[in-house]
Amino acid sequence: MEFFWYIILIIMLATYIVLDGYDFGAGIVHFFFAKNEKDKKAITNAIGPFWDANEVWLIATGGVLFFAFPTLYASSFSGFYLPLIMILWLLIFRAIGLELRGQIHHPMWEVIWDKAFGIASLLLALFFGVALGNVVRGVNLGMVENGVSTVEPHYFFLPLWNPTFSPQANHLGIIDWFTLLLGVISVIALTIHGANWIIFKTNSDINTKLKNVIFKLNFVLLALVIVSLFVWHIIEPKPFHNYFKYPFLWLLPIIMLIGLFGLFKVKTFKKDGQGFMFSTLFLVGGLASTVASIFPNLLPSTNKVNPSLTLYNVAADNYGLSVGVYWFVIAILLVIVYFVIQYRVFKGKMDDVGYGEH
């Protein structure tokens, strides 16, 4: 049952990244590339009916984590307390940036909430990439000092950064050069993803410009992915051991590469949704490849005193996991019905939705 809930957790996380990821990307596009009111309205119309429903996947993922892997939930929500609070505030500012902008039609008011929406989206994309970097790198479980745990073996706490900014320091921070690299990759990837969603859901004049932006950013993304694969060896001496042990896992990075190289043809796509499909493949393939590389670890330990938190040592009791399956089936059926209705109601282009207008 642990493996079943592990797969469910990863699927829900991937769903959140794909769905709310295009919201983040749209916010970044709004911040950097929307130069007039018409472009700004096109972007908010593209995500307006969807963004709040997309965020529910984050809450649902947290709920599954709490139910199925309570030890991991307790460890991560205490150890990553500071960045999680920052993420919460950024989610709030992104939401009110969308909702309050149209309340008063005054240039100063609109600029304030445009900045709130754009900056919050940018920082959220960065922080979620940094979070993935922390999971890959691992943490000092038990806060070991001189070979002795100073707290319980599954607890830790990290400041925002350490003085050396190194991922191999004894006293780690949330942000170091490795986690920041993955954060930048996240920003670039989600910007591309958001731009593809805008192209998919609107007939805006900005779409031609966004295709050029995607094409150029994809070169940056490819370069950063290559760099990340090389530096991964510094963090983990054998990062591909699971791939050699289970050769079928190579399908996951192949999916990622199909998405990445497919985006280079963005200017020639005959259907607007093709770009979004390829960016989705990249995000899902990239997340799955990363998760597969550290399996069965969920949160690696950087010391040799306390073991890593794995799929098997943080799971709830088997009886509880079994009972939860029945409730999960009911919940997922309701979610599927909701999303089918939502995306059928708002299918097609969203240029005339008029989201946020008062």
The answer as to whether 243 is a domain residue is no
Range of the domain at 94: 2-196+295-345
pLDDT of residue 281: 97
Higher pLDDT: 330 or 352? It is 330
> What pTM value is reported for the model?
0.93
Amino acid (1-letter code) at residue 235:
I
Q: What is the DSSP string of 321-339?
A: HHHHHHHHHHHHHHHHHHH
Say what the pLDDT of residue 38 is.
87
Q: Is residue 354 part of a domain?
A: no
**Is 284 a domain residue?**
no
At position 110, the amino acid (one-letter code) is: E
Whether 31 is covered by a domain: the verdict is yes
Instruction: Give the C-alpha distances (Å, rounded to integers) separating 246 from 8, 235, 256.
Output: 20, 21, 18
Domain annotation covers residue 239: no
- Do 121 and 186 meet the contact criterion of CB atoms below 8 Å apart? no
Mean pLDDT of 186-206: 94
DSSP summary character for residue 309: E
Q: Is the pLDDT of residue 222 over 80?
A: yes
- Asked if the model's pLDDT at residue 358 lies above 60, the reply is no
At 320 the pLDDT is 87
In a domain, 56, yes or no: yes
Task: Give CA–CA dist 290/302, Å, rounded.
Answer: 17
Q: Give the model confidence (pLDDT) of 136-186 as tens digits.
A: 999 989 888 888 888 888 899 888 888 888 888 878 889 999 999 999 999
Say how many domains are in the chain.
1
144 located within any domain: yes
In a domain, 183, yes or no: yes
For 120-135, the pLDDT digits (tens) are: 999 999 999 999 999 9
299-314 residues labelled b (16+ CB within 10 A) or e (exposed): bbbbbeebebbbbebb
